[in-house]
Amino acid sequence: MSDFRNFKGAAQPLTDGDIKTIAGYLGCHIAALRAVLAVESDGKGFGSDGRPRILNEPHVFYRELGAGAKRNKAVRAGLAYRKWGTKRYPSTQAARYVWLEKAMAIDEDAALKSCSWGLGQCMGFNHKLCGYASVQEFVRAMMHSAGAQLYAMARFIVSNGLQKHLRKLNWRGFAKGYNGPAYASHGYHTKLANSYSRKPAAEKVTPAPATEVELVVLSGRQPAPAETDLVVDAEGDQPVARVEIRACEHCGGSLEIVASIQDPKIIAAVLAPLTR
């Protein structure tokens, strides 16, 4: 089983710059993006203990396990059931992580896929739609920063063609795609509209695409050199990015590679998945 270090990573907080960058490339109002975050997670990607906010879905665990001994074991332990709403959700984050740890002991992949994560509460089974090859990579990103959580949410929005609804403030259209066909039964679209209406006028604007973005990549565990490089263009005189390599003290010895990118073409390529 993977070592997630009790799901405590760097837990870097969300910044106004994160919001502005993602809203700019989704082409939506800052207030629209903040409205979704407010409804999904009250704008909080991490709990007080520094772990990503999660919600377990035992009916998804039931489905992900498939028929067989693992599912039978999970059902007997009260960790899985066929239909949503069979039991109430655990009321605290601590209790939800207890569920997750027990579920992972039966099947790690299925357990991680059966939780929603972070600011956007994206389900683990949607990790590919969020831009991650494996659910483990997705979870480590959720542990690292609220900015990564926001980017994953944005990738999910674009993968499902929902950015057009955010741009037009079509809350029903967005709610159906993001929350599912039963969205109206619990007033999800109304919550979004009300949250948006409470946002200040200064945030009801679409920001221009960013001129500089910062990317963080976590590598494997190895000693980190103290190094900062200025990357220049082909002519060797125009800076396009500053790359810093350092140890991530919260990430189990991984390297934290930070690239502050200034070249508009590179930025466009990096954020291209958000512009469709």
User: What is the 3 state secondary structure string of the chain?
Assistant: CCCCHHHCCCCECCCHHHHHHHHHHHCCCHHHHHHHHHHHHCCCCECCCCCECEEECHHHHHHHHCCCHHHHHHHHCCCCCCCCCCCCCCCCHHHHHHHHHHHHHHCHHHHHHCEEECCCCEEHHHCCCCCCCCHHHHHHHHHHEHHHHHHHHHHHHHHCCCHHHHHHCCHHHHHHHHHCCCHHHHCHHHHHHHHHHCCCHHHCCCCCCCCCEEEEEEEEECCCCCEEEEEECCCCCCEEEEEEEEECCCCCCEEEEEEEECCHHHHHHHCHHHCC
Residue at token pair 């960790």 = 79
State how far the Cα of 258 lies from the Cα of 216, in Å rounded to an integer.
5
Give me the half-sphere count of Cα atoms (radius 13 Å) on the Cβ side of residue 234: 0
pLDDT, tens digit, 9 for 90 and up, residues 193-203: 999 999 999 99
Q: What is the rounded CA–CA span in Å between residue 195 and residue 222?
A: 45
In this prediction, the residues of the chain whose per-residue pLDDT falls under 70 are 1, 210-276
pLDDT digits (tens, 9 = 90+) for 105-139: 999 999 999 999 999 999 999 999 998 889 999 99
- Nearest Cα to Cα of residue 22 among 122, 150, 126: 150
Q: State how far the Cα of 21 lies from the Cα of 243, in Å rounded to an integer.
A: 19
Q: What is the pLDDT of residue 266?
A: 56
For residue 187, give the nearest of 199, 170, 174, 175 by alpha carbon: 175
